[in-house]
Chains A and B, each alone.
Chain A
Amino acid sequence: MTATSTREAEILLDPDVPLVRITREFDAPPEKVFRAHTDPDLVVQWLGPRGYEMRLDHYDCHTGGSYRYLHVADGAEYGFHGSFHEVRPPEVIVQTFTFDGDPDGVSLDRQVFEDLGNGRTRLIATSLVDSFESRDAFVASGMETGIQESYQRLDELLAG
Chain B
Amino acid sequence: MAADPLSRVFSALADPTRRDMVARLAVDDATLTELAEPYDVTVQAVSKHLRVLEDAGLVSRRRDAQRRPVHLEAEVFDLMTKWIERYRRQAEQRYRRLDDVLQSMPDDVAAVPPATPPQPGATP
Number of interface residues of B (CB under 8 A): 42
Query: What is the number of contacts between chain A and chain B, taking CB atoms within 8 Å?
Result: 132
- Asked whether, in the complex, the Cβ of A151 is within 8 Å of the Cβ of B5, the reply is yes
Within 8 A of B (CB), among A1-51: 8-11, 13, 15, 20, 22, 24, 26-28, 30-36, 38-42, 45-47, 49-50
Other-chain contact of B79, A24, A49, A154 (Cβ < 8 Å): A154
CB of B97 within 8 Å of the partner chain: yes
The answer on a CB contact under 8 Å between B102 and A26 is: yes
> Can you add 6 more A-B contacts, CB < 8 Å, to A22-B88, A35-B111, A41-B113?
A8-B92, A24-B91, A31-B110, A32-B107, A38-B112, A133-B7
24 A-B residue pairs with Cβ-Cβ distance under 8 Å, sorted by A, are: A13-B84, A22-B91, A31-B110, A32-B102, A32-B105, A33-B102, A34-B112, A35-B110, A36-B105, A42-B105, A45-B97, A46-B95, A46-B97, A49-B94, A50-B93, A133-B2, A133-B4, A137-B7, A142-B86, A153-B79, A157-B57, A157-B76, A157-B79, A158-B76
